[in-house]
Amino acid sequence: MATSFVHFRAADFTRAFPSALDPLPTFVDRRHFLDAWILNLCFTILTDIQTRLLAYTGA
């Protein structure tokens, strides 16, 4: 039985934080490709949170 891999689309996950939680994909082995934009999104979210914390705590 052939395995059908699919790509998540970046356009389907519009950032909502800090107004609300970000919508994020849920991966399934042998079902989804791990694309570059996924990791880039992770890094962007992390730096956004860090930036906000630094800005508001005076660090």
Partner 1 sequence: MPSHLSEDDYIKQFPAGLDEFPTLVDRDHYIDAWHLNTIFDSILRIEQYYLDHKESIEAASMDSFEGADGLAVIPVPAGRYAAGKTCTAVDANLVEGNIKSGVTIFGVAGALTTGGGDFVDASVSTSYTADAWKFATPAALDAAAGIASISAPSAST
C-beta of 10 vs 25, nearer to partner 1: 25
Question: From the CB of 45, what's the least distance to partner 1, in Å?
Answer: 5
Nearer residue to partner 1 within complex by CB, 1 or 56:
56
Beta-carbon-side half-sphere exposure of residue 50 (alpha carbons within 13 Å) = 6
Interface residues with partner 1 (CB under 8 A) are: 17-18, 20-22, 24-29, 31-32, 34, 38, 42, 45-46, 49, 52-53, 56-58
Give how far Cα 48 sits from Cα of 11, 20, 22, Å.
19, 14, 12
Residue showing tokens 């042998």 = 30
